[in-house]
Amino acid sequence: MVHGFALDARMWRPQVEELGADYRMLLVDLPGFGPQAREVGNVEPGKELGRAMDAAKLPRAHLVASSYGAAVAVDYALQHPERVASLVLAAPMLLGRRMGIDSWQRCVSLANEGDQPTAAEVWLDDDLFETLRHDDDLFEEVRQIVLDYAGGHWTGKVTSLWSEPDPVPRLKSLTVPTLIVSGEQDLPSFMLMAEAYAKAMPSARREIIQGVGHHVSLEAAPEFNELLRRFIASVR
């Protein structure tokens, strides 16, 4: 389970609660994220995903990934397809494409001025979180996760390096079964990225959940969990 930007493994709570009894689930905090994050400089998140699988003695796994985490999962899958049983990409980020996140530069400026708490609040005020804010309890849960993010990627103290900075030309070679899930109210830029994945990947299936936005695995947890369960069963 690979989390989104400024989040960490805690974002998968609804999936762990619903599916944890039936599946072995490995949750990771990618370098630079989570309450215990360190300023690690240059890091290859795809390689770190493989290291986590090695540590857990998982030779092969279904990778379930959200937003930024989807870019990490795809980067890893392109390098090690033999270790990927399937991909589930929720509101996926696609490297080389426009993110369309209005708050990004403001967050960078605030974090570099030493005001990480305000940077986190500005991030949470972005349209990425618009539909999540409709559920006060869920939004507060996510807010506490974001407030634990140290902002290393904004300050340059953590830099993600990619084996494929522009993966689109190679996506057609990625034939592992893939499920791409979006909330129908996600940002237009992320909907376009999801469509680009679906168009390029030979074994991709596209699902759109109505009434929710970018954080589809949180906002529509029952629907997302059911899609996930059925998809993994079909791959097996």
For the chain, domain boundaries = 9-98+158-235
CA atoms lying within 13 Å on the CB side of residue 181? 25
Question: C-alpha 44: how far from its chain's center?
Answer: 15
User: What element of type H or E holds 179?
Assistant: strand 178-183
**CB-count burial class (<10 Å; 0-12, 13-18, 19+) for 86:** buried
Query: What class, spelled out in words, does domain 9-98+158-235 have in CATH?
Result: alpha beta
- 29, two tokens: 């905090």
- Diameter over CA atoms, the chain: 50
> What pLDDT score does 36 carry?
83
Judge whether 93 and 189 are in contact, CB under 8 Å.
Answer: no
Q: What is the DSSP letter of 64?
A: E
Question: C-alpha 213: how far from its chain's center?
Answer: 14
Using N-to-C axis directions, what is the helix angle for 104-112 and 116-124, rounded to 10°? Answer: 170
Report which of 97, 67, 101 is spatially closest to residue 167, judged by C-alpha positions.
Answer: 97
Per-position pLDDT tens, the chain of length 236: 999 999 999 999 999 999 999 999 999 999 999 988 777 899 999 999 999 999 999 999 999 999 999 999 999 999 999 999 999 999 999 999 999 999 999 999 999 999 999 999 999 999 999 999 999 999 999 999 999 999 999 999 999 999 999 999 999 999 999 999 999 999 999 999 999 999 999 999 999 999 999 999 999 999 999 999 999 999 97
> What pLDDT score does 38 carry?
77
- 129, two tokens: 């979180």
Per DSSP (E only), the strands in 147-203 are 158-160, 178-183
